[in-house]
Amino acid sequence: MPQKLAADAGSASEDAAKANRQRAHTRIVRISSYSVAGVLAVLMTTATLPPLLADQSDRAVINAPITLLTAPIAGEVTDLLGRVGQRLEPGQAVAYLHNGRVDRSTLIGLDSKVDELQGSLVAAREKKESDLRYIAALDGEIR
């Protein structure tokens, strides 16, 4: 009988040791999962918050479905002339930018870009007139 009691005591201590190992394993798994979730939360927060909290943007969007308006240089908007829903004419200023660090080469480049865009505008208008004349000629032939 004492041997059976000793065997039962040994079995009980083995069960207790196994239960302790199981609890320790469960605790390690729980701590690991909380650690991974915490790291992921910190990474997602640091990836999404800075763009949301930035105090300046690279582009301005006015009437987004129709026109995307961007400035060729960085700067501060000193005067905003356009209003939401306002129809603007070609060449009409929308805003004034100020940048005290623009050098002469940048200004020369911007002036050449203006000349190039004005040339493109003239060419597009001439093409439009040519297309309208062609349509009128076709219309006359159909009649």
Q: What is the pLDDT of residues 23-61, one digit of tens each?
A: 888 899 999 999 999 999 888 888 777 666 665 555 655
pLDDT at 127 over 80: yes
Question: Do both 83 and 32 map to the same domain?
Answer: no
- Owner of token pair 């930018």: 97
Q: How many domains does the chain have?
A: 2
- Mean pLDDT of the chain, nearest integer: 78
Same domain, 75 and 129: yes
Q: What is the CA radius of gyration of the chain?
A: 37
Dist. CA 116–CA 114, nearest whole Å: 5
131, 65: one domain: yes
At residue 131, the pLDDT reads 93
DSSP string, 11-69: HHHHHHHHHHHHHHHHHHHHHHHHHHHHHHHHHHHHHHHHHHH-S--S-EESSTTT-EE
Give CA separation, 115 vs 102, 112, 124, in Å: 19, 5, 14
DSSP states of 117-133 as a string?
HHHHHHHHHHHHHHHHH
Q: How far apart are CA 73 and CA 95, in angstroms?
A: 13
Range of the domain at 27: 1-55
Q: pTM above 0.75?
A: no
106 residue type, one letter: T
Clarify whether residues 77 and 33 are in a common domain: no
